[in-house]
Amino acid sequence: MNIPALTRRTAFTLATLPAGALLAACGADASKPAAGGTGGKAKEPVTLVLNGTDSEMGEMAAARFPAFEQKFPHVKVQYDNPPDYSTKLFVVAAAGSLGDVAMTYTNQGQFHFLAQNDVFAPHDPLVARDKYDLKQFYDLAVQSLRVDGKLFVLPFKGQIARLFLFYNQDAFEARGVALPTANWNYNDLLQAATKLHRPSSGSDQADMWGYAAAWKELTTMIGSVRPWGGEIISTDGKKATTNTAQVREALTYHYDMALRTRVGGLTTQITPGDPNTAFYDGKAAMLGRVNAGTAGTVLLRVAGKFRWGAVRMPKGTSGKRGGMWLPGTMSVTKNTKHQDDAWELTKWCCDKEAGVALAMQRMGSSTPGARPDVYSDPRLLIRDGYPAAYGEEQRQAMLEPEPYITAWNYLGADLNTILGNELDRVTKGEIAVNDGFLQNVTSQLQAVLDKPPSRLR
C-alpha cells in the first residue's frame, strides 16, 4: 500500500540532521567519534545518489545515513524518493537515472528483469575482494537473487510474504469469538469469519466483513494455493501449473467463503477494492494473506480505533501455511562513477543495524533486514505500539520458509494481469472455478512463459 511520502528528495548530512539521537536509537554510541573510512590521505568529496521509497526505507534512511557520512566523511548521501517509484522503476532505469545505489522489488521479478538488462554492477567480485560474508543473510534470500548464478545485489530486507493474518481484537471480544492462533486450520478461520460477519442491509457490502483477503496478484496467489499443495508456476518458472486439483481446491475454499457463504470479501468485492483499507477502517474483522511488515501501516492507519493482533495464517491440507520468500534488494548500479563508495553504502543498508531500523519503522513497511541476527534481536520483541506476541510470530514465520519463484523470463507483470482479469471474472460471478476455467488460465499463463525475456530498451 502506498502512503504519503515523508520527503521527495533528501540529502542527509551531519550539518543538517541531529545525528546523535538517531544513532543512539539504532544502537550506535554517538558520544564516540566514528571510525574514519578514509585511512590516510583525504579523499575527494563524493555525493552518492540512492533511489528508494519512503514507504520501504524512509525512517531507516533518516536514522542510519548520518552515521554512514560520519564513518565516510568524504561522502554525502542524497536519498531520492521519486513519486510512484514502484510503478515507474523501469522508466527510471531505462533513463539511466537510478543513481549510484538502488532499492528494487522482487514480487514480480522486477530486480531480476533489471539485472539481466545490465542495470546493476556485478557484485561477486566485490564480495570476493572484501571477503564479505554472505552467510550473514538467510540463504534463501541470497539464492533467490542470483541471476544465471551471478549476484548483482545484496538482500536488503526479507520475509515470508503473504503469510500473516491480522485481526481486530475488539471485534472478536465483542462477539465472544476466541482470538486466532497459529494452531488454527482453515475450518477455524471459516467458523470465526461466519460469527464475526455483519451484513449490510440492502447491499452486497458489509458493515463488517468476517474476513477480507488480498487476492489476484502473483505473489499472493502463490502464497494462497500452497497450503493445499498447489503452485501457480513451476519451480524453474517455465511452466504454468494452475490446472491441478490442489489449485482448484484452494480457489474453491476462498470463493465459497466469498460467494456462497458470503462472510469473506476478496479484493474486487470490497468497495473501494482494498481489503487493507477495510481492515484499517474497522470494516473487516480479519485481514488475511498480507505481509507481516504491513504492521507498520496498521500502526499508522488504525491509530487507536481498535486493538489489533497478528498471527501466521493457518496450515492447510498440505501441512504448510503458504506464503513465499520475498527479499527486497539493494544494488550498486553499473553506471556509478563511484563504485567503491557505492558498495560501502550498499553494505551499510544491509547490515544488522539497518535491518533493525527497518523493523522499527512506523510510517510504512516494517519488514526487517533479511538476516537471522535481525530477526533474533530482542529489540524486535519490544517495539512500541506492537502487540506483545507480534515479534515472536514474525520470528517463527522465518522458520517455515517457502521458496521464491518468479517467471524465468521475468514477465511477472504479464502473469499478474492475466490472474487479475480471470479471477475478477469469478469474483463477479461471470464464471465458475471448473476444469474449463483452469485450462483457460493455464493456457494464458503458459503463453507468457513461452516468450523470451524482454529487454529494457
Outline which parts of the chain fall under CATH 3.40.190.10. Answer: 9-159+325-389, 164-322+407-449
The answer for 148, left when phi > 0, alpha when psi is -120 to 50, beta otherwise, is: left
Instruction: Specify the pLDDT at position 404.
Output: 95
For residue 246, give the nearest of 219, 224, 218, 213 by alpha carbon.
224
pTM: 0.84
pLDDT in tens, 215-241: 999 999 999 999 999 999 999 999 999
In the predicted structure, residue 4 carries a pLDDT above the cut 70: no
> How far, in Å, CA of 435 to CA of 84, rounded?
39
* Helical axes 352-359 vs 54-71, angle rounded to 10°: 140
Instruction: Specify the pLDDT at position 273.
Output: 77
Would you say 73 and 41 are in contact if contact means Cβ atoms under 8 Å apart? no
The CATH code belonging to domain 164-322+407-449 is 3.40.190.10
Mean pLDDT across the chain:
90
Would you say 331 and 38 are in contact if contact means Cβ atoms under 8 Å apart? no
How is residue 96 written as a grid cell? 539511466
Q: What is the mean pLDDT of residues 429-455?
A: 95
Q: What is the mean pLDDT of residues 112-141?
A: 96
Pairing relation of β-strands 101-104 and 324-332? antiparallel
The CATH code belonging to domain 9-159+325-389 is 3.40.190.10
Q: How far is CA 78 from the centre of its chain?
A: 24
What percentage of residues in the chain have a pLDDT greater than 90? 78
Beta bridge mates, 77: 12, 48
Instruction: Specify the pLDDT at position 457.
Output: 66
In angstroms, the Cα distances linking 401 to 134, 161, 164, 432 are: 18, 10, 13, 32
For residue 427, give the nearest of 126, 215, 116 by alpha carbon.
215
Instruction: Specify the pLDDT at position 14.
Output: 31
Beta bridge mates, 233: 240
